[in-house]
Amino acid sequence: MAGLSIDRGGARHPLIELSLGRLREFAREPEAVFWSFIFPILMSVTMALAFPGGGNKPAIVGIPQGAGAAAIREALARDPAVTVRDVPAGGEERALREGDVHLLVVPTAPPTYRFDPDRAESRVARLLVDAALKRAAGTADPWTAREEPVQLPGSRYVDWLIPGIVGLSVMGNGLWGVGFPIVQARMRNLLKRLVASPMRKREYLLAQIIGRLIVLTPEAGAPLVFGVLVLGMPIRGSIAAICLVCLVGAFSFGGLGLLLASRVRTFEAISGLMNLSTVPMWVLSGVFFSATNFPQSMQPLIQALPLTALINALRAVILEGTTLIGVARELAILAAWGLGSFATALAIFRWR
Amino acid sequence: MIGVRCINLAKRYDDVVAVDGLSFIVNRGECFGLLGPNGAGKTTTIEILEGLLEPDAGEVEVLGLTWKQHHRELRQRLGVQLQETQLGDKLTVEETLRLFRSFYHRGRTLDELLRIVELESKRRSWVGKLSGGQKQRLAVACALAGDPDLLFLDEPTTGLDPQSRRQLWALLSHFRQQGGTILLTTHYMDEAETLCDRVAIVDHGKVIAEGPPPELIATLGAPKVVTHQGTLEDVFVALTGRHLREE
Ligand SMILES: Nc1ncnc2c1ncn2[C@@H]1O[C@H](COP(=O)(O)OP(=O)(O)O)[C@@H](O)[C@H]1O
Ligand SMILES: [Mg+2]
């Protein structure tokens, strides 16, 4: 039995030593630490400023010069939901195109509305202006609906956005944080040196992911804490469920990072592969606007993407208080990506 | 007892024949050197013996075992230093050594290793901050972590200053005295003469001469060496008409 006892001369299990090594190297890279924490917060702030609360922005309307312009201006001035902005003569088209005004009301009789029907705010402006002008012209409203304004915490755009940014952060840090150091180790011949020792290959690969999982808590936590403390975002689900979703997500993207880094030996190549795989998810996975906006035929593909699964699960848990069982499908998608990538990476990995 | 036996090794890269039917035997307890100019095929040969490269043809036996059947056991019993490895810059000497030590099921303690390679005072320094000689001693310490029976060293002192070289030589002689076996490659004749019991002179992927350095030098005969004592460099020149290190 003595033959089975292992003497590591004061070192811990290789999986622990490898994971610690990865963690230390990350922590000793001040720039990497800075960006992985600050970037998601910067992004949240920017988006919160760019899209302050949704519906109560006034419609901005431009009125070109002409007889009757003054009457229209006076009629619209009475409506608090409409703001009239002066447009220099000849600059109407430009103002419309740049979004300076949402709608141009040309003072003809009856008035002419010029706007881009593809823009939601332009369509809203058209409805508001039309109602206001008809009221001013003495057209009686058939009835006046009773309005019940409801402020739902968690229904604001920023509340919806923050989980998306957490998802982006988990994806970016998982992919880059795992992929880049591997390519670097390969370029330095370090991988070859490691496989010349009795190190187990799968332990090395697993440690690259574990090293990231440990850093993940503060990384994903940063935008969440910012959202709760600064933006008043509600958290309806349990913290444990959020952590678990993040961990499974990080495992998924860590595995993908391994896979992308499994053969390449230049930073250019790994950057290209990373961009190639992340950019479609930035667009399709519903970070900034709902993924359901894409056509039905694309939905099976979109729903199978790991970032979609991660963000959907995060939104469900954070905003709707869904339990882990409720997001089991998303977790399964993430785990499948992680395990599949890990197994493929282990099989095709280039150690020299 | 045999440390390494290789017979008719061959390896080609696309259009380059790197190793061309190479054979030699390293006995247990001896220091054997592959001496040859750049591009002779030394690294390719030693990496095949280390189980890192698959030969196109030929047989390899290390410590009486084969890579196919005894991969895991061999990894535990060998120490390897590669020609060009940069260990992680942002880990300390101690952390790096501990990492390598963790892979082995038996071997020396970290303190012993640090003492052997004289890096005790640097144990908390980042690897990136070490001098070339210190980095190379750390690489050798990593190779010694599992208390190997056989040490493979690929150009262990290339690029080092004279003092660092002598420090490394002393370290390797010590390993020899403890009964260890060494296979090293070098293009420095003085290194081969100082450290090696026997050398194989390699050129264009073939062994062109083999034996203890004094015997190889003696084969030159008296007339050729007039102005100075003969060296392995003279042997190489006599055999190929070229110098080991093209100026
Ligand atoms: N990965 C490789 N791809 C192509 N050619 C190689 C490769 N590695 C080595 N060679 C070539 O094989 C020959 C032997 O190289 P090497 O074994 O590194 O020699 P040495 O270590 O004696 O300098 C050289 O001509 C070298 O250019
Ligand atoms: Mg070489």
**A:B CB pairs within 8 Å:** 94
Q: Do B104 and A9 touch (CB under 8 A)?
A: yes
- Give B51's contacts in chain A (Cβ within 8 Å): 196
A126, A149, A172: which is the final residue of a domain? A149
Token code pair at residue A179: 């992929």
Three-state secondary structure of B138-175 = HHHHHHHCCCCCEEEEECCCCCCCHHHHHHHHHHHHHH
Out of A4-8, A266-270, B14-18, B70-74, least confident range: A4-8
Q: What are phi and psi of B55, to 5 degrees?
A: -75, 155
- The 10s digit of each residue's pLDDT in B77-136 is 999 999 988 999 999 999 999 999 999 999 999 999 999 999 999 999 999 999 999 999
Q: Which atom of ligand 1 is nearest to the CA of B19?
A: 14
For residue A51, is it within any domain? no
Which of A13, A16, A21 has its CB closest to that of B88? A21
Quote the CA–CA distance of B187 and B245 in Å, as a whole number.
7
Pick the residue from chain A with its C-alpha nearest to B81. A193
Do A141 and A163 fall into the same domain?
Answer: no
Q: Round the average pLDDT of chain B to a whole number and report it.
A: 91
Expressed in percent and rounded to 5, the helix, strand and coil fractions of chain B are 40, 25, 35
Q: Of A121, A149, A177, which marks where a domain is finished? A: A149
A341 or A56: which carries more pLDDT confidence? A341
Helix A157-187 crosses helix A239-260 at what angle (to 10 degrees)?
Answer: 40
**How many structural domains does chain A have?**
2
Residue B43 vs residues A194, B153, B245: alpha-carbon distances, Å: 17, 10, 16
User: Is residue A12 predicted with pLDDT exceeding 50?
Assistant: yes
Q: Which of B11, B42, B44 to mutate to test the pocket of ligand 1 (most atoms within 8 A of CB)?
A: B44
Question: What is the percent of chain A with per-residue pLDDT over 70, rounded to a whole number?
Answer: 95
For residue A56, the model assigns a pLDDT of: 59
> Per-residue confidence at B12, pLDDT binned at 50, 70, 90?
very high
Task: Give the range of the structural domain holding residue B217, as residue numbers without chain letter.
Answer: 2-240
CATH number at residue B119: 3.40.50.300
Contact at CB, B101 and A11, closer than 8 angstroms: yes
Q: Using one digit for the tens of pLDDT, what is the confidence trace for A29-43? A: 888 778 777 877 787
Beta carbons within 8 Å of A290's beta carbon, 6+ residues apart: none
Closest Cα in chain A, distance from residue B234 (Å) = 35
Asked whether residue B101 is assigned to any structural domain, the reply reads yes
Q: Are A246 and A271 part of one and the same domain?
A: yes
pLDDT of amino acid A136:
83
Domain assignment of residue A217, yes or no: yes
pLDDT band, residue A263 (cuts 50/70/90)? very high
Instruction: State the average pLDDT over residues A264-283.
Output: 93
Structural domain harbouring A311: 157-348
pLDDT for res A154: 66
Asked whether residue A253 falls in the same domain as residue A165, the answer is yes
State percent of chain B over pLDDT 90: 79
Report the pLDDT averaged over residues A49-70: 75
Q: How far is the CA of B41 from the centre of ligand 1 (A)?
A: 6
Q: Locate tokens 């020899």: which residue?
A: B176
**Is A225's pLDDT higher than 70?**
yes
Domain-located, residue B121: yes
Bridge partners of B198? B32
Domain membership of residue A46 (yes or no) is no
Ligand nearest to the CA of A192: 1
| Ramachandran class of B185: left when φ > 0, alpha when ψ lies in -120 to 50, beta otherwise | beta
Find the ligand nearest to B47 CA: 1
Non-local CB neighbours of A346 within 8 Å, separated by 6+ positions: A201, A202, A205
pLDDT tens digit string along B44-56? 999 999 999 999 9
CATH code of residue A121: 3.40.190
Q: Ligand 1: does its nearest atom lie under 6 Å from the Cβ of B38?
A: yes
Q: Tell me, yes or no, whether B247 lies in a domain.
A: no
Whether the pLDDT of residue B225 is over 50: the answer is no
Q: Which ligand is nearest to the CA of A265?
A: 1
Indicate whether A59 pLDDT > 60.
yes
pLDDT of residue A175: 93
Look at residue A291 and tell me whether its pLDDT is greater than 50.
Answer: yes
Quick check: is A7 in a domain? no
Q: How far is A180 from chain B (nearest CA, A)?
A: 14
Same domain for A201 and A133? no
More confident residue, B13 or B219: B13
Measured between alpha carbons, how far apart are the two ends of chain B, in Å? Answer: 40
Nearest CA to ligand 1 atom 16: B41
d(CA A320, CA A313): 10
Average pLDDT of span A99-114: 87
- Indicate whether A337 and A191 sit together in one domain: yes
Residues A143, A191 share a domain: no
Q: What is the pLDDT of residues A119-159, one digit of tens each?
A: 888 888 898 888 888 888 887 777 788 877 665 656 778 88
Q: What region does A264 belong to: left with phi over 0, alpha with psi -120 to 50, or beta?
A: beta
Look at residue A346 in the predicted model and tell me its pLDDT.
Answer: 94
CB of B16 within 6 A of ligand 1: the answer is yes
pLDDT at residue B108, rounded to an integer: 92
Same domain, yes or no: A179 and A125: no
Judge whether B245 lies within some domain. Answer: no
For the cut 80, the answer to whether the pLDDT of residue B147 exceeds it is yes
Tell whether A202 and A330 lie within a shared domain.
Answer: yes
What's the one-letter identity of residue A118? D
pLDDT value, residue A32: 79
Between the CA of B247 and the centroid of ligand 1 the distance, in Å, is 20
Claim to verify: residue A255 and residue A134 sit in the same structural domain: no
Q: Give residue for tokens 């070109």.
A: A64
CB contact under 8 A, B52 and A21: no
Q: Which of A124, A149, A174 is the last residue of a domain?
A: A149
Model confidence at B3: pLDDT above 70: yes
Q: Are residues A203 and A277 in the same domain?
A: yes
Q: What is the pLDDT of residues B19-41, one digit of tens each?
A: 999 999 999 999 999 999 999 99
Chain B residues in contact with A188 by the CB 8 A cut-off are: 85-87
Whether B43 is in the pocket of ligand 1, judged by its Cβ within 6 Å, is yes
Domain count of the fold of chain B: 1
Identity of the amino acid at B121: S
**Ligand 2 ion local residues (Cβ < 5 A):** B 42-43, 83
Looking at ligand 1, which residue's alpha carbon is closest to its atom 6? B13
Task: Judge: A8–B105 Cβ closer than 8 Å, yes or no.
Answer: yes
User: Which residue, chain included where needed, has tokens 């290390």?
Assistant: B62
Of A6, A14, A190, the CB nearest to B88: A190
Whether residue A253 has pLDDT greater than 60: yes
Residue A52 has pLDDT above 80, yes or no: no
Peptide bond into A40 cis (omega under 30): no
Tell me if B110 and A9 make a contact (CB, 8 A cut-off): yes
For residue A306, give every residue at least 6 positions away whose Cβ sits within 8 Å of its Cβ, in sequence order, or none.
A171, A249, A252, A253, A256, A281, A333, A334, A337
Higher-scoring residue by pLDDT: A149, A93? A93
> Does residue A9 sit within a domain?
no
Domain-embedded: residue A201: yes
Query: Per the domain annotation, does A47 fall within a domain?
Result: no
**What's the token pair of residue A154?**
């968690």
Burial class (CB in 10 A: 0-12, 13-18, 19+), A244: middle
Question: Which SS3 state, helix, strand or coil, does residue B77 take?
Answer: helix
What is the average per-residue pLDDT within A98-116? 87
Distance CA A224, CA A231 (A): 10
Largest distance between two CA atoms of chain A: 103
The H or E element spanning position B51 is: none
Residue A44 in any domain: the answer is no
Q: For B183-202, write each residue's pLDDT tens digit.
A: 999 988 889 999 999 999 99
pLDDT at B228: 62
Same domain for A87 and A187: no
Whole-number Å distance between alpha carbons of B110 and B141: 9
pLDDT of residue A259: 97
Predicted pLDDT at A1: 40
Q: What is the pTM of this model?
A: 0.83
Q: Are the beta carbons of A262 and A140 closer than 8 angstroms?
A: no
Element containing residue B183 per DSSP (H, E): strand B181-186
Residues A200, A79 within the same domain: no
* pLDDT category of residue A48 using cuts at 50, 70 and 90: confident
Q: Which of chain B's residues have a Cβ under 8 Å away from the Cβ of A8?
A: 101-102, 104-105
Residue B227 has pLDDT above 60, yes or no: no
- In the chain, the amino acid numbered B120 is E
User: Would you state the structure tokens that stand for residue A8, as one six-digit string?
Assistant: 């590591």
Binding site membership of B3 for ligand 1 (Cβ less than 6 Å): no
Q: From CA B136, how far away is CA B121, in angstroms rounded?
A: 16
